[in-house]
Homo-oligomer: A and B are copies of this chain.
Amino acid sequence: MPEHANPTGAGYWYGQSPETAGGVDVLNALRAYRAAEAAMRRRTRDSMRMNETDLLAIRYVMQARQAGKSIGPKDLSRVLSISTASTTALIDRLQKGGYLTRRPHPTDRRALEIIPTENADHEVRETLGKMHRRMLETAESLTPEEAGTITRFLQEMTRVLESDR
């Protein structure tokens, strides 16, 4: 779904209390970051001609591969929270697109292993590598104190978001 929306959305949710400028500024910055990130993901998805789920899947498969782990359709289904039927269709799409291959599981003859192709690895790195490098550089240019402040804040916000689950 269109996470690429609401460009003029700023200022509604936290804009009603002028006297709280410091906190509001932080939340506005956080919202701007979120919007920029959503837009980036959309661009990536468009340039690779994939939907969001496919992109998450290929990333997960590549990451598992890199960690030396074997991964199958069942794992993808669980991780992506989609049915095994949809997972079959997803793998069909990605296989047809040349991003991954099926191979029989070495010991369980019911199961498959999903292997990313070299092309997938190349294309993902090509698309995302430079940006990630610059994000890392930005993060590393922080002093330890700054990094600690930001990390603690984000963790606290995460805790708030998860608190009414």
User: Scoring A residues 35 to 64 as 1 if CB is less than 8 Å from chain B, else 0, what string do you get?
Assistant: 011011001000000011100100110110
User: Scoring A residues 144 to 156 as 1 if CB is less than 8 Å from chain B, else 0, what string do you get?
Assistant: 1011011101111
| Interface contact B24-A136, CB-CB below 8 Å | yes
A157 to B139, CA, bound (A): 9
Interface size on A, residues (CB 8 A): 76
| Interface contact A134-B160, CB-CB below 8 Å | yes
Nearest CB in chain B: distance from A79 CB, A:
6
A27 to B132, CA, bound (A): 10
Partner of A140, one of B2, B22, B134: B22
| Interface contact B161-A81, CB-CB below 8 Å | no
A145 to B76, CA, bound (A): 43
| Interface contact A56-B6, CB-CB below 8 Å | yes
| Residue A89, interface by CB 8 Å | no
Q: Which residues of chain B are within 8 angstroms of A29 by Cβ–Cβ distance?
A: 150-151, 154-155, 158
Q: Which residues of chain B are within 8 angstroms of A43 by Cβ–Cβ distance?
A: 165
CB-CB nearest 3 A-B residue pairs: A1-B52, A23-B140, A23-B139
